[in-house]
Structure formats: structure tokens, C-alpha cells
Chain A
Amino acid sequence: MRALVLTLAASTSLIAVPIAAPAADAPLLIPRYSEETKTSGINSIYAGDWQYMVGGGVATFDCDGNGYADMFLAGGEAPAKFYRNTSKHAGPLTFKAETSGLELESVTGAYPLDIDSDGNVDLVLLRVGENVVMRGLGGCRFKRANEDWGFDGGDAWSTALAATWEHGSDWPTIAIGNYIDRREEMFPWGSCTENWLHRPVADQGQRRFAPPIALKPSFCPLSMLFTDWNRSGTPSLRVSNDREYYKGGQEQLWHVEPGKEPALYTPQEGWKNLRIWGMGIAGYDLNLDGYPEYFLTSMADNKLQTLAKPVEGGKSEPGYSDVAFAKGITAHRPYAGGDVRPSTAWHAQFEDVNNDGRADLFVAKGNVADMPDFAAKDPDNLLLQKPDGKFEEAGDKAGVENYATARGAALADFNLDGLLDLVVVNRWETAKVWRNTTEKAGNWIEIQLKQDVTNRDAIGSWLELRRGDTILRREITVGGGHVSGQLGWRHFGIGEAEGADLRVIWPDGRASDWQPVAGNGFYILERDKPVKTWRPG
């Protein structure tokens, strides 16, 4: 029995106004981004031919303990690169390439997480070939740990990852999605290879991975996410699959419960057949009902799914309504550049880029590779959420009208000024970085969660920010997007509010007390301790 049974309906029934409560007809604050690629020190190309047509991820994490997010960029057939963040507080974005041990070839993407809970961030590198777990040694040095941790990297074309700490476990469970059989030339369609679930060994004292089990059937995923979609307290595994290559496949949702074999949600349980070119997952509670919406990227169409019939106590059926069209967030065609052909969407991420208290959406776009049916000039999207919950395109006005062939991306506050900056990985040309230079943006709060002993970054928590009747919620996850992961500060915009109340529902279901925090500050919330203020050096 979980320590806390959430009463979501009670809290959401009162929610009628966003946290900043702007007037419904107030003009949207268009954020301003300045591209600083050339001066940033970033120069990393996601290179390679057919085997790298998908992938191209970025990982952001703090590996030197200064609070600033460092960066790892997949290089495809070229060696990956690590960049230490040398930016100054509120200053230009600067990075320095360093040898870290992460400079492997054939990397498609990466996700940071502290696997061994030693306080140093580790990375899982997804590759064409053997996947590798890299143990963080501190000081941004990393060392291969497959053998030490019993991690079987296999030999596949890996394109998705999600991680969680199952209840009672002191070691993470990692799901890895694998794409098609790369050795099949003439008839690769229908050759999806098996996805893997790397669970801890049964003996809790060993702290290592058991041999992976196959998640069958496998349908060529390009994104996976452990998410507590029904607020049962136990995350399920959401898998977004590329219909280009599967036969008989569809989107998937897996029960992953401690001590049990994973099992697919079935039509009898309410799961509905959906078949898309699934490429990326972004989750966020947009309608403030306590349950995450999911944006699923695809080609010529993107989905925004909202739980059709939420039921308290984790009893909801996994039936979703597609509200992308109603919300103006289909992002199915370039909004600028003159190319009218359909778009190809990859990484997606909800964040509040103008600090108005509403989550916005960034979508990386780019043709697979010379597909004439799809736009060649396919600018990335920056869709701003309006007070009525609909979205408005602002990529060009904001200055992130990127026409490169984008894949992975990350919105992160690289210079710790409370405004979310942007890095986008591009195929065949260097990754690009933009500094968020928005003037008169709203107030903000950034938070890090900490636990002792295990799962130190509290993956699986729900972070809540309350002001009046409005509660903003973020699920703390590892996974999703397009082969791009982040570990670090969790950002909220709060508009004109001067502060808010903060609490966390920890992975075991226990809720902290509400604690007041002032706007425009960084906070570290450690379990069973008062919230601590943190300031960038």
C-alpha cells in the first residue's frame, strides 16, 4: 500500500486559472533567442549514412558539481564529444571540449542517470553496436562499467531508453529500444529487433544488472518513457514505435511491476490501437488535472494525447483522446521557409520558455534523408501556450527558426539565469546552441531533488508548485524525447508571481510538506529536510 493516495480530483477541480493568471487576451510574450553556436565552442556533427538516419541525441548534466549543465553530443559514426560548461552566470554560453572517456564512436544518443547512486552522474550510451554504461568518476571523467555492473550491451541499433527505480530496488531498471536489423538490405521492413529490459539482479545485495529480458513484441521504437500515467504510484513503460518498419505493430504501454514479468496493456484494459511514425515522447500535465498529456512526434502529423477518462486511485483506463488539432499543436507542416510539404518531427520537450507560467513546446524537425515527400526546409517549432490552453507558433519570431536537419535537442538553463536555453543536434552539420535572452520574462523557480542512499535524483517523483488554486506539476523521468536526456535543474515559470509553495511526492508516494519559495531562485529539496536555497557561483 502506498503511503499516499492522491486526491487529484479534489485539487484539480478548483483549478481554473494558470499560476500567473494573466488576462485571457493578454498578448503572448514572445521569447528571444540568440544563436551563439560560433562563440560557444560547440562544434559537433551527427555524422553517418543510413544507420544514423535516426538518433542524434544530446545529454545535459552537471558532472563537476558547479550547478552548470555540461553537455554530451552523439556523433554518429564520428566520435561523440563532451563539453564542459564554462558559461558565467547570466552570461554568454561557452563550452570547452574535453576528453572525458565518453568519446565513443557509433553513438546515437545518451541518457544521464546516477546508476550506482554514488552522487556522480553516469551515462548510458545508445549505439549502433554495443551499448555502454559509463560510470561517472567525478570531475567529468567517465569509465566503461558494462562488466562491473553486469550490463550486457548487446549488438543492435539502439534508439530509445527509459529508466526507473522499481519500488524496493536500489538499482535502476533500464528499458532500451532497438530498431531494425541493420544487416537486412533488401527487405528490412518487419525486421524490428528485440527491445530489452535491464533489471537489477534479484539479489538486492549485488547492485548490478541481470541479463536483459526481451520486451516482445518489439516494434522499432524511437522513444520510450517510464511514466506514472494513471498516478497509481507505479510507472508504466510507454513506447512510441516507428510504423515504417514494424508489421502488425502499434504504440505500446507496458505494465512493469516489481517482481513480475512485464506485460502489455491490452484492448480489454482500454488500450487503443494507434499506429504512427513514433519518434519522440514529451509528457507534461498541461491541463492541470494531475495526469500527464503526451505529445508524440511523427511525420505529417503529431499527436497530443490526453487521458480520456481519469479515475482516481490509479484506476484509469489507458484510453487517450487526440487533442492536437483542437489545441493548434499539430505542427504538421513548416510554418516558415516556403516549403509546403509535410514535416518530420523528432525530439519534443515541454518547458516554459517565457516564464509565463504555462508550458510551451519545442519540436526538432528535419527530413529523414532526402525524402521528397517531406519538407526539406523544415524549421524547428517553438509553440507557445496561450491562456486558453491552445498553442501558437513562435519559432521564427523567437529566433530558433533552425533549417538544419534536426534530431535530438535539450532545453536547459545553461547560464543559470532562469531562462531556458536551447541546444539542437543536427544531422550532417554541427549542433547549434541558442541563449535565451528574453527581456521582461516572467519569474521562475528551479529545483533539484535529492535523496540519500539510492535513486539520489528521485526519478519517479512528482514536483508540485502551488500558488492559489493552481498547481503546476512535473514528473521527474529519465527517458522520452528523441535519444536525448537531461539531469539537473527542473524549471518552472511563474509569471508575475513573487513566489509559490513547493512540495514533492517522492517515488515511494510520500509527500513532503508544502514549503514556500521565492521567485527567481534555485532550490535544493532534500528528503525530510527544509528546502535549501542555492546560488550559482
Chain B
Amino acid sequence: MKIIRRFAGMILLVLVAGFIQPAFAVAQPDSRQAEQVMRTWYKLVLELVRHTPTYSPPVASRSFAYLGVTGFEALATGNDGLKSLAGQLNALQPGPQREAGKVYDDALVVDAALSFAVQNFFSNTGPTGQRALKAMQAKMRERAVSGLPDDVISRSEAHGRAVGEHILSWSKEDGGAVIENMGFPLEYTLTEGPAHWVPTSLIAQQQLPLLPNWGKNRTFAMANGATCGLPAPLEYSEDKNSTFYKDAFEVYTAVKDLTPEHRVIARFWSDDPMLSPTPPGHWISIALQVLEHEKAGPEQTADVLARLGVVLADSFIGCWDAKFRYDLVRPLTYIRRVIDPKWEAILNTPPFPEYPSGHSTQSGAAADVLTKAFGDNFAFEDATHAADGLKPRPFPSFWAAAEEAGISRLYGGIHFRAAIERGLDQGRCIAGYVNALKTRK
């Protein structure tokens, strides 16, 4: 059994301090620090996701995908054991290559690539994020170039930036590059009928659903948003003998009789935008903790972050395709209409249709990718929310975590069971495409 027992904040300090100190004081190119470069940049990225209002979960997942591919490709161009994702991911063409016979520093290449990528994918972060980004760029570079010859510095930085530019260029036509009004459309016609989503929030901006066209975005590894389509949800009914009513009553009862443990679970996986790194960021955080604990090298670090980013992004596209295909009503609406007009959910009901559960889809997908990377029954402790005062939670496997993430949405009163179970299934399907990618020669 492998157990990680660290708090996120401590990890962060160790990472920054560890990377910034002796690692780059060597004169010779050394690829051992590239993984530290990646992990350190991702720590900042998790904060930027939390503190950049555009970064709803789908938007965050997209950035995780492009950052992961950027890091991987930057490393792969100088690593005989790695196979580029160009030609495997949709519309990704072969990128710039390193000059044969020339010396590059992998860590500096990766730093330059991620520095460029973070600056561009988070260009709309606020003044504090911009200030932090500049500070990170300066300090990372200062250490990265220490002791390196000038020609290696300039060559490595130029190549890293070129890789970053290549990926950024690829990203621009995927349908998700421009987000307006934090993802809420200014015009949208709600589907008529009691089975369909209606606003559940008192926030004016959220009277129309988040990112209704996200399911049409270009996917990364699977063919399109409908590739892992789902069967229709349960037939809507207000008959007390119907399965739909029984599913809704299960949510009603679960919230009404919530145990302290179930409340903790609901809160732990709540992962609210702007108050957390979002659900995809939660899984990135898990991966970072595991990678560090496992002392994963640059190849595995890059591989895991690329695959995880891609599968999270494809999950949100696939999930959103289904959400707006079926446009199912939320438990809050149904229960207040049919069972108890004063009922309150534990969690804030997200402002978009119910079926399937996005957290379930992406958690199932992430669990499958991480299981392939680290094995079945890989036990770990998740300290993602330690800085927010939530105790770390131990899990016997990635799938145990994914299943808990799924059921947390029922405890929280925001999803029916069917959306959770089908969401996990959808995630497993999407992960199949990502796990099939070839990253090693």
C-alpha cells in the first residue's frame, strides 16, 4: 500500500523551494528537474484556475489539456523514448523539432514552453494572477538558466516557446478559445416542458445555462462529443410509482437524512468554481500529489499530465454533448415542484442541465487514466482542499475516489443516481480513447 500524507500547501512550499534551490545550479544540462518544472507550474495553474472567473470546469479542463500536451511535446522532442501526440490528437500537426546535434536543457525547454502556455491560456486572469505569473516566470527562469551556457539557454528557450506557440495555434480553432460573459450566453431559448432544465439560481447571470455549445467543441482523443454518447435518461414522470419519482425521492431522502460523513463527502467533492481548482483541477491535484510521492521522472510526469488533461477535456465535451442533448431538469426543480416546495439542496445547484453528472464523467475518466498509469488498488490520500480546512481523505484506489466523487453529487442534492452511474460509464468510455494513445516509442 502506498500512502501519501502531505498537505497541499506544504507540497507547494517544498516544490517551489526544492526546485528553486540547488537543482539548477549545475552547469550541465540535466533532465531530472523537468518534472519539478512541470509540477511547480501546475501548482500556480491550479490557483489561476480558481482565481480566473472564466474558468468554469469545462474551460479549466480545456486548459489542462493544452498545458499537458505542451509539456509533453516540449519534452518529447528531445527524448528518444517518447512518441509525439501529433497525428494522434485531433488536428494536432507535428511541431517544431530540436536541431540535431545541439545541446538543449530539458528543464529549460519545458519551463519556457509552460511559461508561454500559462501566460496565454490565462491571459485573462486578474492583476494578482498576472503579478504572480510574472514572479513565477522570473524566479523559475533565474534558477533554470543558472550555470547553463548562453547558447544552450537561448536555444532551449526558443524551442520551448516554439512548442508553446505551436500548441497555442492548434488550440485556437477548437471552439472553446473565446469565452464571453463567463460562459453564460446572452441569448438562449429554454426547452419547454417540465422534464427540462430551468434556472435554479437567484443569480441573474445564471438564468441561462453555462456553455450550451461546449459539446460541439473539437475533442482531443475521441472523434467528437457524441462518441461516448449515453442512453436517454429516465422518462420524466410525476407519478409516485414511476422510477423518475423514486430517483428524485432518493435524492430528497438522502439530503434530508444526511449523515455527517455524507456531508463531508459532499463538501469534499463540491469543487465549486472560483472557490476551488474545480473538479478537473481536483484530479490534476491528485495526480500531482501522486507523481511527487512516486518521485516520478519527467517522462511519466509529462505523460500523466498530458493524458489526464486530455481525458478531462474530452470528458467535459462528451458530458456537455449529452447534457444539452437531453436537457434534463435538476432535482431542486423537480423536488420543489412535486415533493417539497421548501426543499434545499446541500450544494449550490450548477446552472446547466442535470444528465449526466459532469463530476462523475470526468472522475470516471480520470480514474481510468490514473489506474492505467499507477495500477489497480493504488492507495493514496487526497489533500487537495487542506488549505481550505477540509481534512485529507484516504482512498484505496482511483476508482474508489471516482465513485465517491460521483455519489457526492447525490448527497449534495444536485444529481439523480442515474446521472452519476451513467456519468461514470461515460468517463470510462472516454478514457479508453485516451489510454489508447501511444506516448512511448
Q: Which of A185, A187, A188, A324 has the most CB of B within 10 A?
A: A187
Stretch of A146-154, A197-205, A363-371 that contacts chain B: A363-371
Pairwise interchain contact B16-A373, C-beta atoms closer than 8 A: no
Pairwise interchain contact B139-A50, C-beta atoms closer than 8 A: no
Cβ–Cβ < 8 Å partners of A64 in chain B: none
Pairwise interchain contact A333-B47, C-beta atoms closer than 8 A: no
Chain A facing B: main interface SS: loop
Residues B178-212 near A (CB distance < 8 A): 180-182, 186, 202-205
Pairwise interchain contact B51-A300, C-beta atoms closer than 8 A: no
Q: Which of A185, A326, A341 has the most CB of B within 10 A?
A: A185
CA distance A333 to B124 in the complex (A): 18
> Given A244-B126, A300-B205, A373-B54, is A340 in contact with B387 using a C-beta cutoff of 8 Å?
no
Contact with B along A352-380 (1 / 0, CB 8 A): 00000000000000001111111000000
Cβ–Cβ < 8 Å partners of B22 in chain A: none
Cβ–Cβ < 8 Å partners of B388 in chain A: 247-248
CA distance A186 to B132 in the complex (A): 4
Pairwise interchain contact B53-A299, C-beta atoms closer than 8 A: yes
CA distance A273 to B389 in the complex (A): 14
Residues B157-195 near A (CB distance < 8 A): 180-182, 186
Residues B242-297 near A (CB distance < 8 A): 274-275
A322 at interface by CB-CB < 8 Å: yes
B438 at interface by CB-CB < 8 Å: no
Contact with B along A318-333 (1 / 0, CB 8 A): 0000101110001011
Contact with A along B48-65 (1 / 0, CB 8 A): 001111100000000000
Cβ–Cβ < 8 Å partners of B47 in chain A: 187, 189
Residues B341-377 near A (CB distance < 8 A): none
B25 at interface by CB-CB < 8 Å: no
Which of B9, B16, B131, B182 contacts A342, CB < 8 Å?
B182
A301 at interface by CB-CB < 8 Å: yes
- Closest chain-B Cβ to A335's Cβ sits at a distance in Å of 12
> Given A247-B388, A340-B186, is A369 in contact with B126 using a C-beta cutoff of 8 Å?
yes
> Given A185-B132, A247-B389, A324-B202, is A300 in contact with B53 using a C-beta cutoff of 8 Å?
yes
Pairwise interchain contact B127-A341, C-beta atoms closer than 8 A: no
Which of B16, B127, B202, B274 contacts A186, CB < 8 Å?
B16
Pairwise interchain contact A186-B275, C-beta atoms closer than 8 A: no
Cβ–Cβ < 8 Å partners of A301 in chain B: 203-205
- Closest chain-A Cβ to B124's Cβ sits at a distance in Å of 4
Pairwise interchain contact B182-A185, C-beta atoms closer than 8 A: no
Pairwise interchain contact A187-B54, C-beta atoms closer than 8 A: no
- Closest chain-A Cβ to B125's Cβ sits at a distance in Å of 8
A243 at interface by CB-CB < 8 Å: yes
B91 at interface by CB-CB < 8 Å: no
CA distance A368 to B53 in the complex (A): 13
CA distance A165 to B132 in the complex (A): 41
Cβ–Cβ < 8 Å partners of B127 in chain A: 50, 53, 368-371
Pairwise interchain contact A325-B203, C-beta atoms closer than 8 A: yes
Contact with A along B385-414 (1 / 0, CB 8 A): 001111000000000000000000000000
Pairwise interchain contact B136-A186, C-beta atoms closer than 8 A: yes
Contact with A along B292-316 (1 / 0, CB 8 A): 0000000000000000000000000
Pairwise interchain contact B205-A185, C-beta atoms closer than 8 A: no
Cβ–Cβ < 8 Å partners of A324 in chain B: 202, 204
Pairwise interchain contact B275-A340, C-beta atoms closer than 8 A: no
Q: Which of B47, B123, B180, B203 has the most CB of A within 10 A?
A: B203
CA distance A371 to B50 in the complex (A): 15
Cβ–Cβ < 8 Å partners of B274 in chain A: 243
- Closest chain-A Cβ to B129's Cβ sits at a distance in Å of 9
- Closest chain-B Cβ to A366's Cβ sits at a distance in Å of 13
B135 at interface by CB-CB < 8 Å: yes
B128 at interface by CB-CB < 8 Å: yes
- Complex A-B: 20 CB contacts under 8 Å: A50-B128, A186-B136, A186-B139, A189-B128, A190-B9, A243-B275, A245-B128, A299-B53, A300-B53, A300-B182, A301-B203, A326-B202, A330-B204, A341-B181, A342-B53, A368-B127, A370-B127, A371-B127, A373-B54, A373-B182
List residues of chain A with CB under 8 Å of any chain B CB. Answer: 50, 53, 185-190, 243-245, 247-248, 275, 299-301, 322, 324-326, 330, 332-333, 340-342, 368-374
List residues of chain B with CB under 8 Å of any chain A CB. Answer: 9, 12, 16, 44, 47, 50-54, 123-124, 126-128, 131-132, 135-136, 139, 180-182, 186, 202-205, 274-275, 387-390
Further 5 A-B residue pairs, CB within 8 A, beyond A248-B387, A299-B53, A369-B127:
A185-B131, A330-B203, A368-B126, A371-B124, A374-B53
Nearest 6 pairs of A and B residues by beta carbon: A248-B389, A185-B135, A372-B124, A330-B204, A248-B388, A369-B127
